[in-house]
């Protein structure tokens, strides 16, 4: 591979090019830099462009990316999002379709890793929108540099630590043409409105760099808390012939609240419960379960389709809720969103299920979801 010394773009990308790699390239400056940098490094990668079919020019733009890829000697595929499009939650649906199509293409060509062009600016937007949505630490940690997208398939973001301006300048210095997606400035979407607000936020010190640094710090702390909670879960778990799960409540009651909260969340996940709203988990654990365990009072509560019961001996049981109650809980979880800063407010979950950015109106997913890229 060509040397990458003194080139931040090549340095950021080079470690991610081993093995079968599929590049997700929309034609914007970030993903165009991704494709051209990979070619500059001599990497044997494949390229895919998702045509969402949401704008009249999308097909021609995807074909233009294909021509550029082939000129670089890189195989290219256009992945089309076919079928009817939703009237609400459009960007969430587009994101889900994009990753579904990319995962299918990666599997078909034998790629073990998909690379995207997300930047530090994207990370900052993600964190800011999750703050607005009331997310917990798992959400404020923002997008992860890498995550499992499907069994045997990782999604990675080599440029997550680079400002977008670096990638734009890299393209312009090399005469690399790129597209500009008009939806990125569309005031109908929260990210478009936020981008208009960045100059004001930056003057107050709320810069993309600082928000990205916040995400790094929160991710570090969240990982430590999650590890402590999983260890506590293994210590507190008891044989459960008559229940899905049994836990020693004495151990739970002695934990710091932040760890106890995550311990029960982990228990619910292990039991197969539906995703939890953070505020409902906090109400259950902090206002009901822990006080009851410390006073040795029996309680019985429900959350995410499960009954959580504590007896006077301090044993905590998790069992599936009766069907009617489980359905009611699921309906409540899927209920409409409330307005917040001019956008829909998704439920703020504690878990790290969603790792990809802010939500748009009508979307209900864990901690917010990423918008269409570039």
Please state at what angle helix 120-132 crosses helix 190-203, rounded to 10 degrees.
Answer: 100
Q: Is 32 annotated as a binding residue?
A: no
- For 325, half-sphere exposure in the C-beta direction (CA atoms, 13 angstrom radius) is 12
Encoding tokens for residue 260? 């106890």
Q: Is 26 annotated as a binding residue?
A: yes
List the Cα angle 244/245/249 in 5-degree steps.
Answer: 150
CB atoms near residue 292 (< 10 Å): 22
Query: For residue 292, which of 263, 255, 325, 250 has the smallest C-alpha distance?
Result: 250
Q: Is 27 annotated as a binding residue?
A: yes
Q: Is 30 annotated as a binding residue?
A: yes
Encoding tokens for residue 368? 């917010």
CB atoms near residue 1 (< 10 Å): 11
Query: Rounded to an integer, what distance in angstroms lies between the CA atom of residue 164 and that of residue 155?
Result: 19
Let me know: does 148 contact 8? Beta carbons within 8 Å: no
Query: For residue 118, which of 149, 79, 154, 162 has the smallest C-alpha distance?
Result: 162
User: Length of the chain, please?
Assistant: 374
Query: Rounded to an integer, what distance in angstroms lies between the CA atom of residue 354 and that of residue 278?
Result: 14
Q: Is 31 annotated as a binding residue?
A: yes
Let me know: does 24 contact 116? Beta carbons within 8 Å: yes
Let me know: does 61 contact 72? Beta carbons within 8 Å: no
* Annotation: binding site for ATP: 26-31
Annotated binding site: 26-31
């Amino acid at each position: 591979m060509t040397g990458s010394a003194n080139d931040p773009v090549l340095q950021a990308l080079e470690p991610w090019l081993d093995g079968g790699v599929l590049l997700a390239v929309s034609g914007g400056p970030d993903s165009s830099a991704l494709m051209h940098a990979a070619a500059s490094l001599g990497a044997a990668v494949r390229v895919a462009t998702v045509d969402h079919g949401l704008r009249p020019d999308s097909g021609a733009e995807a074909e233009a990316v294909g021509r550029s890829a082939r000129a670089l000697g890189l195989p290219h595929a256009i992945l089309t999002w076919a079928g009817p499009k939703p009237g609400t939650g459009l960007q969430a649906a587009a994101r889900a379709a994009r990753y579904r199509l990319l995962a299918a293409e990666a599997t078909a060509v034998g790629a073990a890793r998909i690379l995207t062009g997300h930047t530090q600016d994207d990370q900052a937007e993600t964190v800011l929108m999750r703050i607005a949505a009331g997310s917990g630490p798992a959400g404020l940690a923002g997008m992860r540099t890498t995550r499992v997208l499907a069994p045997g398939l990782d999604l990675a973001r080599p440029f997550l630590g680079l400002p977008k301006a670096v990638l734009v300048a890299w393209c312009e210095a090399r005469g690399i043409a790129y597209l500009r997606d008009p939806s990125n400035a569309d005031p109908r979407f929260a990210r478009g409105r936020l981008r208009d607000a960045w100059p004001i936020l930056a003057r107050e010190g709320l810069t993309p760099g600082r928000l990205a640094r916040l995400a790094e710090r929160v991710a570090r702390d969240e990982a430590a808390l999650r590890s402590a909670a999983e260890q506590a879960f293994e210590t507190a778990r008891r044989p459960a012939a008559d229940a899905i799960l049994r836990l020693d409540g004495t151990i739970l009651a002695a934990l710091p609240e932040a760890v106890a909260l995550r311990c029960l969340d982990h228990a619910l996940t292990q039991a197969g419960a539906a995703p939890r709203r953070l505020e409902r988990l906090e109400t259950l654990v902090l206002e009901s379960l822990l006080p009851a365990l410390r006073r040795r009072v029996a309680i019985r509560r429900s959350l995410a389709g499960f009954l959580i019961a504590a007896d006077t001996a301090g044993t905590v049981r998790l069992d599936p809720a009766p069907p009617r109650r489980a359905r009611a809980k699921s309906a409540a979880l899927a209920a409409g969103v409330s307005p917040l800063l001019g956008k829909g407010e998704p439920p703020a979950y504690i878990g790290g299920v969603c790792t990809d950015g802010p939500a748009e109106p009508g979307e209900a997913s864990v901690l917010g979801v990423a918008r269409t890229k570039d």
